[in-house]
Amino acid sequence: MNKVYKVNTEQRAYVIKLLNPFIMHRPDAMYNFALAEQLEQRLEETSIPILPALSIHGSKMQEIDGTYFYVYDYFKGKALKTDEITTFLCAQIGEVLAKIHGIERRNEKQNIQESHVEWEMYLEKMKHTDQNIYVVLKEALLVIKESERKRNAAIEKLPHIVSICHNDMDSKNVLWDGKEYRIIDLECLSYNNPYCEMMELALNWSGFDIGLQDYSLLHTFLQSYESAGGKLPTDWEPIYDFCTDKTEWLAYNIKRVLGIDCLEEEKEIGRKEIEKTIQQIPFYHEHRREILAHFQYR
């Protein structure tokens, strides 16, 4: 969603992240970034292994001629592919996630809006834009709507708890250099439901998002999270229905392909994300009972 560059200077290497201009034009963008910077500072103070933005002239966010960006020290680690994830890595992420969630927890109900995507409208537009995507969307439309319905029904059943959450700490946003690692992409930090983030990341780091489900990795993640002080819910079902729903992400990428509120180069990214997401939605629908049994077994 942003452009990232490595910059070599005579002193050392840096990373510059140019923030997506369409995101910066959203009414709540500046508030969200300011909150994320405050929470980033709290993670630094708690010695969470993150790669924070550098403060320049007293500000983390920089701006030149209307372009907003962050500057980081360069870290030579790399993001690992899902099939490279080991038990050790899952244990590390489960532990650090529990530490992040433990920094601050509040008994508080989130103001989560129901999702009501106009699927038929997008389907009609896609019919004249990309025939291949149109066909797969049309075939999956019933399960897409069912996933969205279950998400909306789960909202009122979610536990009233919030904590500091990364909100995108999947495997692409952790850089590894041997056993040392840094968590990146901290602009999404906010207060959210820790149970939902915990389930999302347990599934992601265990290969479920790409159909390589590994229950041993899932159990390792959960055990590590709990051993590090992470709290587990008593009722997993509404959490599952809420956090495995991918329809809002699907809708966002449909808009990318249609050229709505995005850069031209995002269209191809949108196509690839649709291909992945359109497989995830029926997978989590069909395997719901089996996956829930492994969470409830804990």
Give the residue-averaged pLDDT of 229-238.
Answer: 96
Which string of b and e fits 261-289 if b means at least 16 CB within 10 Å?
ebeeebbeebbebbeebbbbbbbbbeeee
Which string of b and e fits 172-181 if b means at least 16 CB within 10 Å?
ebbbbeeeeb
CA distance 224 to 205: 13
Continuous segment of H or E residues that includes residue 4: strand 3-8
Average pLDDT of the chain, as a whole number: 95
Can you give the pLDDT at residue 263? 81
Confidence band, pLDDT 50/70/90 cuts, at residue 1: confident
The tokens 């920089």 sit on which residue? Answer: 62
CA distance 112 to 192: 10
31-72 residue pLDDT tens: 999 999 999 999 999 999 999 999 999 999 999 999 999 999
CA distance 146 to 141: 9
CA distance 295 to 288: 11
The tokens 């990373």 sit on which residue? Answer: 15
Continuous segment of H or E residues that includes residue 78: strand 78-79
CA distance 42 to 56: 18
99-110 residue pLDDT tens: 999 999 999 999
Confidence band, pLDDT 50/70/90 cuts, at residue 298: low
The DSSP string of 165-210 is E-S--SGGGEEEETTEEEE--GGG-EEE-HHHHHHHHHHHHTTGGG
Output phi, psi for 16, to 5 deg: -115, 130
Residue 255: HSE in the Cβ half-sphere, 13 Å Cα cutoff: 13
